[in-house]
Amino acid sequence: MGAVARAALAGCCLFALAACSGDVEDTAPRTTATAPSTTPSTTAAPSTTSAPPTTLSPQQQDEADIRQLHDRFFRMLEVTGREPDPGNPEIALSTTGLQQQRWEEALRQLRDEGKYFEADWEQRIDRVTFRDHDHAAVLACASEQSRLLNADGTVVGTTDWARVNETLLVRSPDGWRVEDWLTGGEQACVV
């Protein structure tokens, strides 16, 4: 069994990503949390005027952008796994640096071995932490149900797991990008 097939049994997408992950610097991060409302809810009569648009603070906008990127990253993994093309422009729209290199290499290996995978991802972001103005981390519970297949559609292996993972992000001139996707250990979770 090839390296991609063995790795796919441990997680189709994680095989190329987790092996090269580094340590995370432990700094005093700023975190964003949402506190439950203690204000009682009331029903008001419908307004006949429109309220001005809500303006987000720069940190709120960054967090919204990061949450969108996180979803886009997992969609990119699904799409590029079905049709392994290391030159797919979607990769550069959600990744950079080491993460981009890892994923392009993994897709090149899948393509060269005549394999592809089908994956269904679900994720729940538990926390966004800003390490500084240009670096952030997302702690999430992600689940994967996937199948690694040969070009003729025969199944090589399957994966079904859910665990806590961390994704490191960096701000680029074009917006936030995934710089490193870390598995974050073996802690199981429920999406």
Report the range of poorest mean pLDDT among 35-39, 64-68, 97-101, 179-183: 35-39
Q: Per the domain annotation, does 100 fall within a domain?
A: yes
Three-state secondary-structure class, residue 33? coil
Q: Per the domain annotation, does 33 fall within a domain?
A: no
Per-residue model confidence as pLDDT tens digits over 95-119: 999 999 999 999 999 999 999 999 9
Q: Per the domain annotation, does 62 fall within a domain?
A: yes
Q: Per the domain annotation, does 48 fall within a domain?
A: no
pLDDT at 4 over 70: no
What domain range is 75 assigned to?
6-17+57-182
Of 98, 95, 101, the residue nearest 75 (C-alpha):
95
Q: Per the domain annotation, does 99 fall within a domain?
A: yes
For range 9-16, the mean pLDDT:
40
Per-residue model confidence as pLDDT tens digits over 43-69: 444 445 565 667 889 999 999 999 999
Q: Tell me which DSSP letter residue 31 carries.
A: E
The structural domain count of the chain equals 1
Q: What is the pTM of this model?
A: 0.72
Q: Per the domain annotation, does 68 fall within a domain?
A: yes
Number of other residues whose CB lies within 10 A of the CB of residue 68: 13
Cα–Cα distances in angstroms (integers) from residue 6 to residues 2, 22, 188, in the given order: 6, 22, 21
Q: Per the domain annotation, does 188 fall within a domain?
A: no
Spatial separation of the C-alpha atoms in residues 118 and 148, rounded to whole Å: 7
Are the C-beta atoms of 169 and 179 separated by less than 8 Å? yes
CATH code where residue 65 lies: 3.10.450.50
Question: What pLDDT is attached to residue 191?
Answer: 87
